[in-house]
Amino acid sequence: MPMRYDAGEVITAMVTPMNEKKEIDYDKAESLVKYLINNGSDSILVAGTTGESPTLTHEEEVELISTVKRAAANKVKIIANSGSNSTETAVKSAENAQKEEVDAILSVVPYYNKPSQKGMIEHFSAIAESVDLPIILYNIPSRTGVTMQPKTVAYLAGKYDNIVAVKQSCPDLDMVSELKMYCPEDFVIYSGDDSLTLPMLSIGAHGVISVASHLFGSEIKSMIRNFKTGNPAAAKNMHQKLFNIFKKLFMAPNPVPIKAALAHKNLIEEYVRRPLVELTEDEKIILFSAIDSFN
């Protein structure tokens, strides 16, 4: 059965390039999009957590989406982050994203106020009923403080055709098995953690919404392709080669390490907005050593 929506196997959760004044560098954003398209990304997620969404203004988000869409030139799908812990705000954000003509939205489980499963159903139902866009649910208990259960996801996926996928950022692989058991056959599961991509593929995930794909998109793509086309040994070897880098890219709060790594490759500057701070020189030595020793 074909998937109800396919954003590809490698979706890059793109950083938001900034200059020394902590202003968005739209020129660097445009060049980064083109780089990602040429290096394994099937879709690009704009203004997510990796894009420092908590510190972006609405006006900046709109300009960033416009910049990324222009740079992508319809070569990849553009997904906009539009989640909130306020249902009313999340609905408005989804409606605004639809006006910007993005290809899909990502919407996170409400954070901090820790809703019940019933509350999550009402929250995502309101979003699904407000827009026609494909919606990717985002389950990340480490940031939200609460877990969306597989049966909750399955209920939403069964009721709404435009709830098409889930980004599962949770190390509990049993939940992925349960998602495959309970959800419609055409519902898509994405790993939300680079290091869990291969394990999740083995029990039914389709791909990854990735941070490491900024640097190793083609390698991650080959890992997924090898697994799906009957060469699990090659997939395992690539996973093991990348595993240390996957972990080092989260040695500090995301996106601090990946921005430092991209600056190391002269693709952007390393600057992040407060309350995030840049890596120390000692941390950079550890990170860059892992990246430079990849080959």
Answer whether the bond into residue 171 is a cis peptide, omega within 30°: no
| Gap between the Cα atoms of 111 and 246, Å rounded | 25
Residue 35: which of 21, 52, 15 has the closest Cα?
A: 15
Residue 115: which of 90, 95, 94 has the closest Cα?
A: 90
E-strand stretches of the chain: 10-13, 43-46, 77-81, 104-108, 135-139, 163-168, 188-191, 207-210
| Gap between the Cα atoms of 65 and 61, Å rounded | 6
- Cα separations in angstroms, 197 against 171, 203, 227, 235: 11, 10, 11, 10
Phi/psi of residue 261, nearest 5 degrees: -65, -40
Residue-wise burial string across 171-189, b where 16 or more C-beta atoms lie within 10 A, e elsewhere: eeeebbebbbebbeeebbb
Q: For this structure, is 114 an active site residue?
A: no
Q: For this structure, is 167 an active site residue?
A: yes
Catalytic residue among 167, 221, 248, 259: 167
Catalytic residue among 5, 26, 138, 190: 138
User: Would you please indicate which residues are annotated as catalytic (active-site) residues?
Assistant: 138, 167
